[in-house]
Amino acid sequence: MRIAVVGGGISGLVAAYRLRTLLGPDADLLVLDRSDRIGGILYTGALAGEPLDLGAEAFVGRRPEVPELLCELGLESQLVTPAGLRPLVWSGGAVHSLPEGTLMGIPANAESMRGLADAATLARIAAEPERPLTWLPGSDTDVYGLVADRFGAQVAERSVDPLLGGVYAGSSRSIGVRAALPTLAAALDNGAPSLTAAVRAALPPPSNAPVFGGIRDGYRTLLDALAARSAAKFVTATPGTRLARGLRGWVVDPIGAVDAVVLATPAPVTARLLGGVAPAAAAELAGVELSSSVVVALALPRGTALPQNSGILVATGEPLRAKAFTLSSRKWPHLAHRETALVRASFGKFGDDAALSWPDAGLVAAAAEDLATVTGVDIAPSAAVVQRWPGGLAQYAPGHTARIAAVEAEVATLDGLAVAGAYLHGVGVPACVASGTAAAQRIAAP
């Protein structure tokens, strides 16, 4: 059986690995990728002579997919957890503690927002349960529209936006409630009488388990292991340019006839490839928009007096160029032992990709200057590296879940074809692992 996996990111690599385990050594697996390397938006670069992730650097630890995959591959010793420090929020020209006990920044009570929001907003949050709530079960709206209406714009811009920006490189205005906050949508569908009540119902139960996990030597360790265990043939710097029905299955240009195909490509690429075989799905995917971002990693003198926090998020509307800072040496104990202090600055959100065109020197200077502003510390990088991510993350706009359901319904009618990727059911690495697994199981099913 000859199978093409188009897209060598984490979703495609997991699909190839799972296909090998399901179909055995005789399967002929080919992985195509338009880049000259595998991994997609997971990339472990180097800073100050040591590895550092310059794309995603963590995964949600409460989901099982990544820890289980690491164990399968004999990489369990690579699993690391953060130090447990909280992030700060830069708002109104000062740092504040990130509100606790929230659902993606949406509070369950007014007290959690004290210090970050003004008195009028606190009063509005406290009184919200007394206001009638209209919600049509099954409906969807952008997060900003819901939160600003019920709690006020300050909650959306100062508490919710910084967190959504970290997940989607978007904002509450570009992200839909149903896709990004499914437990909240479910609580509203079930008749929660207020947003306060819905948040309280949607919050996960208290747990001492780490919220996030990471990989000690970077995602490259996982990517390389998946590639090796898949025993696939990798064809890099070669995009899939056309998908068509063939005499015995499918034709994927430029590699020719195959029995089955996994499309593990970004939504716009998948839309183009599906245009001739699944036009309704292609039309839906053409509506998925992407955001771009830039990561600037700085190596600082080890004694730099950075705050004892995991990072500093930036509220909407602040006159800074950077959108967030990860204080990597504070966040991750295994990085704290290095000879330099490590910080990652993030630039760009949906609708604002200007940073992609800035020169490297300008980005490094902006990162250092903005970091000095939010920390009050002299910042003197000894080394820096810039990584651009054009079109790196899909925006889960209102209606996204219905869009994806329509895509999957049409693809399900086509034997030997599966889709996988970060635009489907979550942009995080665990969701991508799950999508790659599901795609492989569909292809391998008798």
The reported pLDDT for the residue numbered 247 is 86
DSSP assignment letter at 355: G
Mean pLDDT over 47-63 rounds to 95
The string of pLDDT tens digits covering residues 336-373 is: 999 999 999 999 999 999 999 999 999 999 999 999 99
Kindly provide the residue ranges of all beta strands, DSSP E only, lying in 161-282, ordered along the sequence.
212-215, 233-235, 242-245, 250-253, 256-258, 260-263
Q: How far is CA 190 from CA 103, 149, 201, in A?
A: 17, 20, 10
- Residue 66: is its pLDDT beyond 90? yes
Mean pLDDT of the chain: 97
Hey, what amino acid is at 380? A
The string of pLDDT tens digits covering residues 228-255 is: 999 999 999 999 999 999 988 999 999 9
> Rounded to whole angstroms, how far apart are CA atoms 421 and 431?
8
Mean pLDDT over 151-167 rounds to 97
Mean pLDDT over 404-417 rounds to 98
> Rounded to whole angstroms, how far apart are CA atoms 370 and 403?
39
- pLDDT band, residue 403 (cuts 50/70/90): very high
The reported pLDDT for the residue numbered 80 is 97
The reported pLDDT for the residue numbered 208 is 82
The reported pLDDT for the residue numbered 373 is 98
Q: Give exposure, 337-357, as e/b (b: 16+ Cβ within 10 Å).
A: ebebbbbbbbbbbbeebebbe
> Rounded to whole angstroms, how far apart are CA atoms 290 and 395?
6
- Residue 196: is its pLDDT beyond 90? yes
The string of pLDDT tens digits covering residues 199-222 is: 999 999 888 888 899 999 999 999
